[in-house]
Chain A
Amino acid sequence: AQSVTQPDIHITVSEGASLELRCNYSYGATPYLFWYVQSPGQGLQLLLKYFSGDTLVQGIKGFEAEFKRSQSSFNLRKPSVHWSDAAEYFCASGGGSTLGRLYFGRGTQLTVWP
């Protein structure tokens, strides 16, 4: 079975600082990997995804993520955080027999200090 772990429940950074959100997955094969962002009371918006190929993936809003098979990780990064990036971030994996069935981590709440 697949699972996703986001070890950090809450992260606080200052505006302009760099950001890295951690994500580890458990799956026998190479999974599809996603990062979603959720603003309060809203649905989820896709930031970026990895299916295959280049292990460094660029997404929207200046985010990027790197797939590292040896570490079973897919960490999300941003070089300079903006106050509007404050939200909850979810890592998810998929790739099993049911297309679109995703396994989510519990999320990381990001707070940005001015």
Chain B
Amino acid sequence: SQTIHQWPATLVQPVGSPLSLECTVEGTSNPNLYWYRQAAGRGLQLLFYSVGIGQISSEVPQNLSASRPQDRQFILSSKKLLLSDSGFYLCAWWGLGEAFFGQGTRLTVV
């Protein structure tokens, strides 16, 4: 069966520090992958999506970037975090007619 792994679960980082969140999918090949952010009291905002290795589409301009170095690996990064980057980050893959979500990473920038 297909599973999606996302880590770390929680992260506290100082302003100006780098960020790397990783997401991997098992049990499927060439999935469409997505990074969403959920800010406090708000819905999910799509940040990036990828339809294949090295293919990244950005939905909104921001301080973050994404990469897809392998078929089932999707990474969210930042060179210098801002306070406004705090939130709950969710990775997802699309398959079988629905989106499957990871457990999320709670990022607090201090």
**Closest chain B CB from A39 CB (angstroms):** 10
Known contacts: A100-B34, A106-B43. The answer to whether A44 contacts B106 by CB under 8 A is: no
**Closest chain A CB from B90 CB (angstroms):** 6
Q: Which of B43, B98, B104 contacts A42 (CB 8 A)?
A: B104
Q: Give A6 to B42 CA distance when docked, in angstroms.
A: 11
Query: Do the beta carbons of A104 and B43 come within 8 Å of each other?
Result: yes
A31 on the B face (CB < 8 A): no
**Closest chain B CB from A81 CB (angstroms):** 22
Count of chain A to chain B residue pairs whose CB atoms are closer than 8 Å in the complex: 64
Q: Give A102 to B106 CA distance when docked, in angstroms.
A: 21
**Closest chain B CB from A112 CB (angstroms):** 20
**Closest chain B CB from A68 CB (angstroms):** 21
Query: Which bracket fits the contact residues of A?
Result: 20 to 34
Tally chain B residues at the interface, Cβ within 8 Å. Answer: 26
Q: Please name all residues of chain A whose beta carbon is closer than 8 Å to the beta carbon of B94 when the two chains form the complex.
A: 99-100
A67 on the B face (CB < 8 A): no
A53 on the B face (CB < 8 A): no
Q: Please name all residues of chain B whose beta carbon is closer than 8 Å to the beta carbon of A42 when the two chains form the complex.
A: 103-104
Known: A32-B97, A101-B49. 15 other contacts (CB 8 A): A6-B43, A9-B41, A36-B101, A43-B101, A43-B104, A46-B98, A46-B100, A98-B49, A98-B57, A100-B34, A100-B49, A100-B94, A102-B46, A102-B99, A103-B46
A positions within 8 Å CB-CB of B:
4, 6, 9, 32, 34, 36, 41-46, 49, 51, 90, 92, 98-107
